[in-house]
Amino acid sequence: MSDIESPGTARAELPRQFSFLSTLALGYSITNSWAGYAGILSIPLVMGGSPTAFFGLVVASIACCFITAGLAELASVFPTSGGPFHFAFMASAPKHRAAVSFVVGWLTMISWCTVSTSNGIVCEAAWRIYLIYLLIVLLSTMVVCFLPRVIPLIEDSILTFSLLTFSASFITVLAMQSHKQSAHTVFFAYENHTGWSDGTAFMIGAGTCMYAYITVDSFTHIADEVPEPSRNIPRAMMSTVLTGMVTCIPYSITILFCTNDLTTVASSSIPIYTAYLQATSSSAVATLFTAWVIFFYCAAEFSCILTAGRLAYTFTRAGGLPYSSFFVRITNEMPLNATLGCCVFICLYGLIYIGSASAFNSLISIVIIALNICYVIPQGIVLLRGREAVLSRRAFSLGKYFGPFCNAVAVLWVAVILVFFCLPLKLPTTVHDMNYVSVVLAGFVALVALGWWGGKRRTFTGPVCNP
């Protein structure tokens, strides 16, 4: 094992409680691709109808496979709980590694605390949504903090239930819909009413479909608690993405073929409920299946809180967060203070929804691009400096030729899709419809830069590494 980040005590303080299966279950419970896709179905439908909803998902799936493969290789070389910020540190030249690691670390931290606010709850009154949201966050935090030993069992149960409910909804929808759409309608009936060109609308829709595969770095942040992390972490990462593709793409085909009026689905306040209702002609079945999707959004909170807490703890150990002596403490075999700190941030962050749902959703949408930027920064550095100079012998290797190709595709895709993520969904745009992703991302980077030049550049040296 090479270059292990730590003050040397983390592996003794955090028990190896995750088997390969429970590691896979933890990451999958957050990603849960088919449920994630169900939650954002309306956006690709608006951006081109059924063809964008399907082909956009296929393109996003392939792109995320390349991104995850490159990240998994780095996780095999540097099997540490730091994840992308540690990979960026190890890949960078000594002169720049601290600054690059600090920026990636903070972007990853902000993204993880933000993704923890996505729960799929639908309600007319904003304050009611916030109270339900608060209950889910606090309950999840209590379980993570005070019942850490049951977390693997919970994750295994969520994985099993997800696959069972996917199968049930997949079969039921196919069986109950006797009048299916034609293949031409599903694959070629492109409907673009956004004001953008067809290509631009498709790329915006494809970028949104990446939501089905976000947070693949979750595995890296429990590396201290997994046996043989250099092997098991990459295996879990690739297994999650491949499982996501095997479930999500067939799920999309089923929904698109069995839905009668996709325009109504796209304009619905609860698109997936409308799709299920059209497919099954049963409000009871549609309600049950929609409740399952919402349940998986809520159930992901356990894993999100756990991962955010582990990341905060690891970043604190590296000197990236203030009040390190407080957040670095281990209680009850888990980073209690770091996890509670993330919980407080997430609860306060949710208040934005009461003031402005649009502002809240703009911040949520930035998670996709911010996390993927963090995933490809170390891959880009590896390309620039040379793979052989940075990557040592590893259990998971992409090879001499496919490795550079994979890294290049990942970096190029994220660079291109970043542009489309900054565009509004339709033209002409209004203040209400405006896309604030570029403003928010620039604001985050400015705050991180302020922290760096405000003092951290003199004190942050990056994760401590064993020779």
Per-residue pLDDT tens digits for 265-301? 999 989 999 999 999 999 999 999 999 999 999 899 9
pLDDT above 90 coverage of the chain, percent? 66
Residue 8 has pLDDT above 50, yes or no: no
Q: Can you state the angle between helices 357-385 and 50-77, rounded to 10 degrees?
A: 50
Task: Give CA 243 to chain center in angstroms.
Answer: 15
pLDDT value of position 363: 66
Domains of the chain plus CATH, in order, are 10-457 (1.20.1740.10)
**pLDDT band of 61, cuts 50, 70, 90:** very high
Total H helices, total E strands in the chain? 23, 0
- According to the model, what pLDDT value does residue 62 have? 98
The predicted pLDDT at position 4 comes to: 41
Within 8 A by CB and 6+ apart from 364, the residues are 114, 115, 117, 118
- Of the listed ranges 192-206, 266-280, 452-466, the least confidently predicted one is 452-466
Q: What is the mean pLDDT of residues 387-397?
A: 90
120: left (phi over 0), alpha (psi -120 to 50) or beta: left
The residue-averaged pLDDT of 391-399 equals: 91
pLDDT at 3 over 50: no
Query: What's the pLDDT score for residue 430?
Result: 79
Query: Which pLDDT tens digit goes with each residue over 328-351?
Result: 998 888 899 999 999 999 998 888
CB 346 within 8 A of CB 137: yes
| CA distances (Å), origin 359, targets 109, 112, 350, 437 | 19, 18, 11, 10
User: CB 124: neighbour CB atoms within 10 A?
Assistant: 7
Output the pLDDT for position 24. 94
Q: Please answer whether residues 298 and 136 qualify as being in contact, where contact means their C-beta atoms are separated by less than 8 angstroms.
A: yes
Q: How would you class 215 by CB atoms within 10 Å of its CB: exposed for 0-12, middle for 13-18, buried for 19 or more?
A: buried
Residues in the chain: 467
* pLDDT score recorded for residue 437: 82
Token pair 């393109």: residue: 59
Q: What is the average pLDDT score of the chain? A: 89
The pLDDT tens digits of the residues spanning 202-213 come to 999 999 999 999
Residue 157 pLDDT greater than 50, yes or no: yes
Q: Is the pLDDT of residue 167 over 50?
A: yes
For residue 358, the model assigns a pLDDT of 63
161: pLDDT strictly greater than 50: yes
* pLDDT average, residue stretch 89-94: 93
| Rounded mean pLDDT, 157-165 | 95
At residue 453, what is the residue type? W
User: CA-CA distance, 31 to 213, in Å (whole number)?
Assistant: 6
Which DSSP symbol is given to 350? T
